A = this chain, B = another copy of it.
């Protein structure tokens, strides 16, 4: 397998392709249009024709086709024209699409996807993709909304982007991809392997969604927020959750996620016992340590 191919061209003049034009795909397309594009263009396919029509009429994309089986030829043609393709579908659909179209990408193009869990992607493509620069990635941005209508070119400002190149990925292709992501606002660019990714993401993202969901689930009633002062609001914003997507993410990364849940349960149990035993000195020590750790963690967080 020739898992690389020399990449040439200026970012501003490339043809970009989007497969999936929801909140993430739409936001990335808008950001590329706004922050990168000069003489280049953007092509897109997604399942919802209305999103494509909106994107076209807003001048974000130049051409499109609807993502459906009978359009296989048009999709193939589109992929053959793109220098950089972003597959922004739900995780399982992402893998299905990549497997189906792996021979249809333009020779030497950069192909990426944004699935929140990478095990499936790397199981399907353990050695990369023939003739193209396939570099999975994970833009650490988004919000609780769904669909192109809520897409926003500014959600990537000061965010983290995780790149998951193969051992033999062409460094030039990776640099080009990084440059593009920097141009649309990402500031902290991390390169790692998929096992590390799935382990860390299970903590920073999936565990947080499980906790937020559990907190809403255990509320006695929905009026309790009358007694709130902002803490519950902050802890449960992400409980406005896209249920099908997160069901898929949780289950596809279940081993990592469950191990983090269990670690969290241990810490919760420790603090609970310090409270139950009225062990003020130990509790104060734990909370002081927590405060210090959280202050140290702030260095890699989005600057506000």
Contacts and interface: CB of A to CB of B under 8 A. Distances in A.
A52 B136 CA distance: 57
B290 A239 contact: yes
Contact of A247 (B233, B266, B280, B293): B280
Contact of A224 (B203, B250, B265): B203
Interface string A221-240: 01111111111111111111
A140 B227 contact: yes
Interface string A257-292: 110110111111011100110101001111111110
B224 A297 contact: yes
B235 A212 contact: yes
Given A210-B271, A235-B235, A272-B258, A293 B226 contact: no
A141 B230 contact: yes
A67 to B, nearest CB: 23
Contacts of A210: 268, 271-272, 275
Contact of A160 (B227, B236, B263, B298): B227
A250 B284 CA distance: 10
A231 B218 contact: no
Contacts of A159: 229-230
A189 to B, nearest CB: 10
Contacts of A286: 213, 217
Interface string A107-137: 0000000000000000000000000000000
Q: How many copies does the complex hold?
A: 2
Given A204-B224, A276-B258, A217 B270 contact: yes
| Chain A interface size range | 35 or more
A226 B300 contact: yes
Given A160-B229, A238-B234, A239-B291, A261 B272 contact: yes
A139 to B, nearest CB: 8
A188 interface: yes
A234 B272 CA distance: 22
A271 B214 contact: yes
A101 B275 CA distance: 31
Which of A201, A226, A227 counts the most B-chain CB atoms under 10 A from its CB? A227
A266 to B, nearest CB: 7
Contacts of A218: 260, 263-264, 266-267
Contacts of A261: 268, 272
A296 interface: yes
A283 B239 contact: no
Contacts of A301: 225, 228, 233
17 contacts: A190-B226, A203-B219, A207-B215, A208-B232, A208-B234, A212-B231, A212-B235, A215-B267, A217-B271, A222-B296, A223-B300, A225-B301, A235-B238, A241-B291, A243-B288, A248-B280, A258-B272
